Chains A and B, each alone.
Chain A
């Protein structure tokens, strides 16, 4: 019997196993994970820490759900060696020969090479075990290092638990990869209004304490803390794989083709450990978002079972929720482009704010605050790469979708901007 092995049971691996089963009803499908839990949602761990949702909502699939699809789920099963030529996975207590392999090993938090980061009380917010650790902690003061979406969510969650929370960011604004200064300032103020201290442009130097965390020393101050949440970034988790077995991209993720197949015959990859193309910016890189991982998993799994599906590319719409106000971002930031190649239209409206980034009269980035629905509508226009001046000359076409209407609502501002350009 054909054996399809999937390593990693995050959303990518889980979807891959399910998709493989839909394509091939007979193959033996084995899903291996070093985690002790079946599938859970990494995106809502902060909500669980904040006691906003119960554990049953975090866990998306139980062992029995995999059983129904006749997927052999092996929990707490760490793969110690992959013999690519022999098509064999080895564990401490055995081995598994396979015919087809899907690598879905995900990502791991970056830990800086600085003193004290191995102390007890330093956690990421990546796994359910991390969330349980934060829930079990005694409370008090926490320092969150890094203000990406996970850092912000972790800070809010701990603050909701009644902790005193301080956010420390190396760069000059919060959520620096998602928002330009104007929106980042509003979001920072929102955090501060809810009692979270935010220190920007500040470098963390060490975690102090004996065995346990007692304080964090930055280049400006010493912050006492019982817990340090470290979320400065994610890297592909590829300790199992080396570059001689499959090719890696410049981003450090596994390189795959449109079918999510790696450079090695019979091996597919999906999810956070894989690099892909951004449908809006065209950039090849790591696009570690839940929905990208889910779709990649479906395609990699189906293809491993014999289908020929193509992955269109990654859609990097990122939504963050800050004390029940949402903000979203897609495409380039103005701060990523130089002043003379781009123009910005920043509109305030009763429903929120919308920031459009234009380059060569094309829409290349959108940030939204409040009601973020217009952002999704505009994505189609960005993917089509249409010249806005030409778009505005014509009547709205069905093929523009709602994007045409949104842009025509802003046409006076847009024209003025492009004329000045």
Chain B
């Protein structure tokens, strides 16, 4: 069964440790701006919202990509951009409704969470368990579909 990254936003402290761990693991630098998971914070208060790629069933980023760099990998089912092909236009960043499309401003390439090939580092470092990597059962898929429908369809 496919596993997915899920978030319990009530538990997120906004410590941003996941950003650092992600950039170290994937880019070998401690640079939150090059992380594949990013933590949004409100202006005030404790609440924070980590955002990351949802690997949508019908990804807008793949629709918008002018060079077909973003495709679903057949083996994993993940929606991942090909860095070699990406022209760095930033179209995927502006269109994603979930803020899941990251962007490497130094190399001008799209960044996307690939769940660390099934072993996500952010989950392991999350001090409160707000990020979890769980089996995606049908009820969860149905819930996500319902939420997505509310989000995007009128």
Most chain A beta-carbon contacts within 10 A, residue among B68, B85, B90, B98: B90
> B129: CB under 8 A from chain A?
no
Known contacts A324-B108, A383-B154, A409-B41; A291 and B94 CB within 8 A of each other:
no
Contact (Cβ within 8 A) A317 B151:
no
Q: Given the complex, which residues of B lie within 8 Å of A402, measured CB to CB?
A: 40, 49, 51, 97-99
What residues on B are CB-neighbors of A410 within 8 Å? 43
Interface: B2 (CB within 8 A): no
Q: Determine the distance from Cα of A248 to Cα of B18 in the docked complex, in whole angstroms.
A: 53
User: Are B40 and A409 neighbours in the complex by a CB distance under 8 Å?
Assistant: yes
Are A401 and B67 in touch, CB under 8 angstroms?
no
For B60, the chain A residues whose CB sits under 8 A away are: 291, 315, 376
Residues of A within 8 A of B91 (CB): 291, 319
* Distance A60 CA – B60 CA, assembled complex (angstroms): 18
CB–CB A319/B85 < 8 A? no
Q: Does A199 interact with chain B (Cβ within 8 Å)?
A: no
Q: Which residue of chain A lies nearest to B143 when distances are taken between CB atoms in the complex?
A: A398
With a cutoff of 8 Å between Cβ atoms, the chain B residues found around residue A19 in the complex are none
Interface magnitude class on chain B: 35 or more
The interface stretch among A20-28, A39-47, A124-132, A135-143 is: A39-47
> Within the complex, what minimum Cβ distance (angstroms) separates B45 from chain A?
9
B152 and A326 contact, CB distance less than 8 A: no
Interface of B is mostly: loop
The DSSP consensus for interface residues of chain A is helix
- Chain A nearest CB: distance from B16 CB in Å? 14
Beyond A319-B90, A409-B43, A410-B43, whether A380 also contacts B97 by CB under 8 A is yes
| Nearest chain B residue, comparing its CB with the CB of A374 | B99
Contact A319 B94 (CB under 8 A): yes
Closest to B102 in A: A373
Partner of B87, one of A52, A372, A379, A399: A52
In the complex with contacts A326-B90, A376-B99, A410-B43, A41-B66 CB distance below 8 A: yes
Bound together, the chains give a CA A145 to CA B64 distance in angstroms of: 26
Instruction: Say whether, besides A47-B87, A57-B85, A384-B154, A372 and B93 are in contact (CB < 8 Å).
Output: yes
User: Which chain A residues border B87 with CB–CB below 8 Å?
Assistant: 44, 47, 52-53, 57
| Chain A hits for B67, CB < 8 A | 41, 43-44, 53, 57, 60
Distance between Cα atoms of A409 and B42 in the complex (Å): 4
Q: How long is the Cα–Cα vector from A172 to B103 in the complex, in angstroms?
A: 32
Query: Please, what's the 1-or-0 string for B42-63, where 1 marks a CB less than 8 Å from any CB in chain A?
Result: 1100010101000000001001
A375, B150: Cα distance in complex, Å: 18
* Residues B110-154 near A (CB distance < 8 A): 147, 150-154
Q: Which residues of A contact B (CB under 8 A)?
A: 41, 43-44, 47, 52-53, 57, 60, 279, 290-291, 294-295, 312, 315, 317, 319, 321, 324, 326, 328, 368, 371-377, 379-380, 383-384, 398-403, 405-406, 408-412
23 inter-chain pairs at a CB distance below 8 angstroms, sorted by A residue, are A41-B67, A43-B89, A53-B67, A290-B66, A291-B95, A319-B95, A324-B88, A371-B103, A373-B96, A373-B103, A376-B93, A376-B99, A376-B101, A377-B98, A379-B97, A383-B152, A383-B154, A399-B150, A402-B49, A402-B51, A405-B49, A409-B40, A409-B42
